[in-house]
Amino acid sequence: MSRIGKLPISIPAGVQVSISDENIVTVKGGLGELKQAVHPNININIEGSTLTVGRLSDENGDRSKHGLYRSLIANMIQGVSEGFTIIQELIGVGYKATATGQVLELALGYSHNIVFELPPEVKIETTAEKGKVPSIILKSYDRQLIGQVAAKIRSLRPPEPYKGKGIRFKNEVIRKKAGKSAEK
């Protein structure tokens, strides 16, 4: 049995979970609504405020999908009830970020500013306090979408290994290389 797949998921108050005949799980909550298609060999049971995920056989494909769908459904429930937050920091001289609505404008040391449009499900804030590193704060109820957006923003200027300049996640550790040493 899958260690992750066999764990029950508690459904908090204010969250509704429904399963259609086509094996589509719909989760509605205070922050939004998410849908996920589930493989036919995975069965989902809702008893009171507890959801359990099971599988029909012990084949390798079904075993691998068991934990996957349990994690996806747990993330959906957590997303519509609490939401997810990702914080990114801009390390580098002159690096700036400004957000107006759903548009993020980045100054990352290139000859031009980069304009990045965000999907409507993702909310954005930027902070720029004197003496602190400028940061980008992303919030959403869809974990997969917020991760994709954060990865795309990071790819615009990934941290380089010598000085560590670039866009990085908060508390991310960058392994730095030693530069050239002068011979004497």
Q: What is the pLDDT of residues 112-142, one digit of tens each?
A: 999 999 999 999 999 998 889 999 999 999 9
Q: What is the mean pLDDT of the chain?
A: 91
HEC secondary structure over 86-127: EEEEEECCCCEEEEECCEEEEECCCCCCEEEECCCCCEEEEE
Which domains can be identified in the chain, with CATH numbers?
Answer: 9-81 (3.90.930.12), 84-169 (3.90.930.12)
Res. 1: pLDDT tops 90: no
